[in-house]
Each structure stands twice: as C-alpha cells, then as structure tokens.
Amino acid sequence: MKISHKLILGFLGIASLTGGIGAIAVHQQSQTAKYLARQEAEEVAMLLGYFTNHELEEGKSQSQSEVLSRLQNHVLALHKQRQRDLEIVDRNKIILADIVTEDIGTKLEHDQNNEVGKTIQDGITRTYIETSPEYPQGISLIAVPFKTNQGETIGAVILEYTPLYQAAMAAAQKSIVATSIISLVCGVLALIAGFLISKNISNPIKQLQQAVLNLTEGKLDTRVTIHSQDEIGELATSFNNMANDLQKSRYELLDANEQLQNEITERQQAEGELQETLQNLQKTQAQLIQSEKISSLGQLVAGIAHEINNPVNFIHGNLTYIKEYVESLIDFVQLYQKHYPNPVIEIQAEAENIELEFLQEDLWKILDSMNMGTSRIREIVRSLRNFSRMDEAEYKAVDIHEGIDSTLLILHHRLQAKGNLPEIEVIREYGNLPLIECYAGQLNQVFMNILVNAIDAVEEANTKRSNQQIKDNPSRITIRTSLINSHWVKIAIADTGTGIPETARHNLFNPFFTTKPVNKGTGMGLSISYQIITEKHCGKLEYVSTLGEGTEFIIQIPIRQTVIAAV
C-alpha cells in the first residue's frame, strides 16, 4: 500500500472516529431526552399521588366520590396546563380519572400485553405502544406506578409518552445539531488535512520511485530535482550521487564487457575450429582403424583362400584321374574273375580278407563324397574371394546377390541352431537386378555389419521368449532386393529381433555408439556402414523399427555411380 493511501486512510480513520464520537454524543443526548421524558412522567404520577393522599388525610370524612372528583379535577387541570393526555386506574385496572370523562368507571381495554398490570404488580415504569382504530399507526404510552405516601402501589398513571419525548428532544435539539455539525466539520477537516499532507509527502516519493524505475530500465541519466531540506531532500541528494556513480561504473563496465566479448568471440571461434578438427580427426581415425581392419581381414581371407584353393584344385583335378584308374582296375579284376572263376586258395583267402565285393561297391561312393567335398571347399573359397574382392578392381559393376550370398555363407555357423537357440531361417526375396557399380568389398562389409546385428538381435529376442512364442513367431531374417526406378535399387534386411529402443535411435549411426554389452561390439559397424552408403555410394541408409517386433534396414544406392556424380 502506498504511503499516500496510508496517510489518507489514517486521517479517514480520524474523521470516522470523530463522526463516531459525534454519533455517540447524539445518541447519548437522545437517550437523555428519553430519560427526561420518563422522569417527567414519573414526577407527574408522584404529584398526583401526593395531592390525592394529602387531600385524603385532610378530609378523611370525605366520601369516595368526592375524592375521585378531586382526582379528576387534578387530571383535567394537568391536561389543560401541560397538554398531557393521561388516565389513572386502580389495581383492577378500573379507570378512576381520565380526560375523557365517559371512560371513568370502565375497565382499561388498551392494555393488550398487560404492561399496565405488570407495572401495578412490580412497581416498575414501562413504555409501550397502543394500537386502536383511532390510532392505526400506534401511540406511545408510559405506565407509572400510582403510590401512596407509604410506597404502596394502589394503581397506575398512564400518560401519552410521545409529547413528553418530543418536548425533551426539542430541548436537546440544539445540542444535537451543534454536535453533529462539529463532528462533520472535524471529519471534513481531517480528510482535507490528510489529503494535503499525503500529497505533500507522496509526490516527492513518487518522483524518487519513478527515478528508481528509470534507473532500473537503464536510463542512468535520470536525476531528481527535489529542493526540500527534509529527509526526502537528503534522500534525493543521495540518489543523484548514486546515479552519477552508477553511470560512471556503467561506462567502465561497457568498456570491459566489450573487451571480454571480443575475447569470448575469439575463443569461441578457436574452440569451434578445434572441435571441428577433433571431430574430423575422430572420424578419420575411426575410418582408418576400420579400413585397416577390413584391409587386413581381406588380405588374410584372400591369402587363406589362395592357399586353400591350390591344394584343393590339385585334389579336385586329380580325382578325375583317380576315378578313371580305379575304374580300370575294377574292370581288370572283374575280367580276371570272369576268366578265372576259381583262383588258388591264397587268392580266395585274400579276396575274403579285403572284402573285395564290398570294396568294389563302396569305392565309388568314397570317390563321389571326395568329389562333393572338394566342390564344397572350392565354393567356400570362391565365396571368401568374392567377399574380400581382393582379386578384383576396387570399383566395378558386380552382382550384389553374390555379395549377399557370400556374406551369408561366411555367417552360416551363426545361423545354425545351438543349445536352446533355434535355427535362424533366412528368406531371400531377390528381384531381377542389373549389375551395380559399387565398391564391392565395402558393400559386402555393410551387408556383414547389418546381418551380424540382425543375428544378435534375433538371438537376444529368443533368450527372452518361451518355446511357444518362438514357435508362433519363428526366428527369421528376410532379405529383399528390388528396383526403385531405372537409376536406383533397394536392399531391405529385416529381422524378428527385439527392435531398437527409442533412446538409442538418435545416436544409432554415431561412431562408437553401441547398445551391446561390453566386449560384444565397438559401435563402429553402423557408423562405417552409414558412411560407406551415403559418402562412398551417394545413397541412403534408413531403418524402421518396432520395439519387441523387429527392425528393417533399408539400403538405397544408384545403379551407376557416374550418373549420380554427373548429376
């Protein structure tokens, strides 16, 4: 609350207090008028009682009618002198004297609440209101005990109370008016004084307050022009001194801030350049590490494939000659048996010892198995060479289906059932694709990374599922290839694994980010794959994942890199 409001409220309280005191005085004077009217009524009753008792004592031989006649004369005289309507009743409320002579001797009828009867019984004066056809609005009356000199109540005197009250109020009217006027004038003066004083005090304070607000808004040239010699003037002087010091400090601070801002800008630029350099260094380091690993792996695979290929080719090539030689020897033995069916006993014993007939039949099976084994080894070697692509140009048109099949052949041991984990079924839905211009070795690396992650996800899901759930939702990896248009192809690899958590999706392609346990992944697979697809092949690598149901990685690359480069 403002100081002016407080001052006005204070003086308003004083004015209210003055008015309240005046109102109390007016009320007190009104109560005094009532008291005087009551006292006058009681004095009238006492006088009537005194006169009546005095006359009874002087003329004891007087009859009752004469006493009542004198009492009636007193009532009429009092009515004529003071214009008071009154009547006197005995203990039985029989009217003894009345200004209306016709009512003398009758019983009082207008005592509806027995106010007169109560006054006669306990001797206490009472006021009440009488309603009748003549006075529909009611008339105020007062009942006063009518007593003897000995204090015995012999009846009651009933007077009209309103004229008594009005007469008393008329006497106190001047005092009441004077008190009211004085209270009103005092209240008005208090309000005027409060307004003037509050204005005289609050205006300088408002100026100071506005100056402070201007100062907080940065208007440091604000000054206060208050020339009073009181405390507010001293406060204004102190404020002006503070504003001068603050303005001087602000200029100094602005200069220091400008210098600091320049230093911060230079440092931020340096930090930005350093951060960018660090990111490029980390990225280059990760690429070098991965490239070196893949290069070493490719050389190792190519070397192993070459070393295995030579003896396998030697064995596989000689199997044809061995088969011919064995066939000739068996023909020779059979010819010998035909012309000499009964050889000597020593030859017969040796034939039985070596099981000649079984040997002739089983030897062909052994040769077929050896031929099949060497063919399988040659196929594996060809897949290893195809995966490493070390014997081909770095950039050429290839059949990506061969790359996918080679990768699956290398991962064949991961797809087989082991322990409580079921076999992972691979579904190939290959479209009719042309040869794709790409970096075959790097593209095979992408297939390897995505398929390894898919196998890990399916195995993790199987560890959390019951046998019935695995039966209802078989472990499966689906590979789909298709043409998007005449320039782009799409390879989609979907699994039935656990899906990718929502918290990991924003960092999935960041270097070294992994959701696998320690020692199960470096977090480089998807990051390198993303770089190979987007930077090396100008393609897209996206994914769609539903938690608890699986993930699908979608690779889109152009058919001809030269077309994309030209665009």
Please write the tens of the pLDDT for every residue from 238-285. 777 777 877 788 788 888 888 888 888 888 888 888 888 887 776 666
In this prediction, residue 557 carries a pLDDT of: 94
Beta bridge partners of 398: 436
Residue 56: name the closest of 70, 42, 46 by CA: 70
Tokens 């770089």 correspond to: 531
Q: Which two tokens stand for residue 496?
A: 């039935």
Separation CA 298–CA 386 (nearest Å): 10
Residue 172: name the closest of 34, 16, 13, 379 by CA: 34
Architecture of domain 393-567: 2-Layer Sandwich (3.30)
Under 8 Å between Cβ of 42 and 125:
yes
Under 8 Å between Cβ of 4 and 201:
yes
Residue 207: name the closest of 235, 183, 180, 181 by CA: 235
Q: Which two tokens stand for residue 503?
A: 């918290």
Separation CA 135–CA 116 (nearest Å): 19
In this prediction, residue 443 carries a pLDDT of: 87
Radius of gyration in angstroms for the set of CA atoms belonging to the chain, rounded to a whole number: 65
Under 8 Å between Cβ of 128 and 112:
no
In this prediction, residue 390 carries a pLDDT of: 44
Long-range own/partner contacts, residues 6-12 (CB < 8 A, 24 or more apart): 7/194, 7/197, 7/198, 7/201, 7/202, 8/191, 8/194, 8/195, 8/198, 10/194, 11/190, 11/191, 11/193, 11/194, 11/195, 11/197, 11/198, 12/190, 12/191, 12/194
Separation CA 83–CA 163 (nearest Å): 8
Count other Cβ atoms within 10 Å, centred on residue 152: 10
- Kind plus residue range of the DSSP H or E element containing 7: helix 3-58
Under 8 Å between Cβ of 329 and 370:
no
Under 8 Å between Cβ of 8 and 147:
no
In this prediction, residue 566 carries a pLDDT of: 42
Residue type, 311: P
Separation CA 488–CA 438 (nearest Å): 12
Q: Which two tokens stand for residue 352?
A: 């039985």
Count other Cβ atoms within 10 Å, centred on residue 124: 11
In this prediction, residue 539 carries a pLDDT of: 93
Residue 462: name the closest of 505, 415, 410, 501 by CA: 415
Separation CA 512–CA 121 (nearest Å): 114
Separation CA 567–CA 558 (nearest Å): 12
Residue 531: name the closest of 547, 509, 552, 514 by CA: 509
Beta bridge partners of 488: 558
Separation CA 483–CA 489 (nearest Å): 4
| C-alpha to C-alpha distances, 324 to 320, 351, 364, 371, nearest whole angstrom | 6, 22, 11, 13
In this prediction, residue 53 carries a pLDDT of: 59
Where in the chain are the domains? 3-185, 265-391, 393-567
Architecture of domain 3-185: 2-Layer Sandwich (3.30)
Under 8 Å between Cβ of 229 and 202:
no
Q: What is the pLDDT along the chain (567 residues), one digit of tens a residue?
A: 555 555 556 656 666 666 667 667 666 666 666 666 666 666 666 666 666 655 555 545 456 677 677 777 777 777 776 666 778 888 888 888 877 777 788 888 777 788 888 888 888 888 877 777 766 777 778 888 887 767 788 888 887 766 666 666 666 666 667 777 777 777 677 677 766 766 666 677 777 777 777 777 777 777 777 666 666 777 777 777 777 877 788 788 888 888 888 888 888 888 888 888 887 776 666 655 555 555 555 556 666 666 676 777 777 777 787 888 888 888 888 888 888 888 888 888 888 888 888 888 888 888 888 877 777 777 777 666 665 554 444 678 889 998 898 888 878 888 888 878 888 999 999 999 999 998 888 888 889 889 988 998 898 888 888 877 777 788 999 999 999 998 999 999 999 988 888 877 777 777 655 666 545 554 557 888 888 899 888 999 999 998 888 999 999 999 987 655 444
In this prediction, residue 393 carries a pLDDT of: 46
Contacts of 102 (CB under 8 A, 6+ apart): none
Separation CA 366–CA 360 (nearest Å): 11
Regarding beta strands 139-147 and 488-495, do their DSSP bridges make them parallel or antiparallel, or are they unpaired? unpaired
In this prediction, residue 513 carries a pLDDT of: 59
Q: Which two tokens stand for residue 441?
A: 């070795």
- Kind plus residue range of the DSSP H or E element containing 433: none
Taking the model in full, what pTM does it have?
0.41
Residue type, 360: Q
Regarding beta strands 425-429 and 476-483, do their DSSP bridges make them parallel or antiparallel, or are they unpaired? parallel
Under 8 Å between Cβ of 108 and 93:
yes
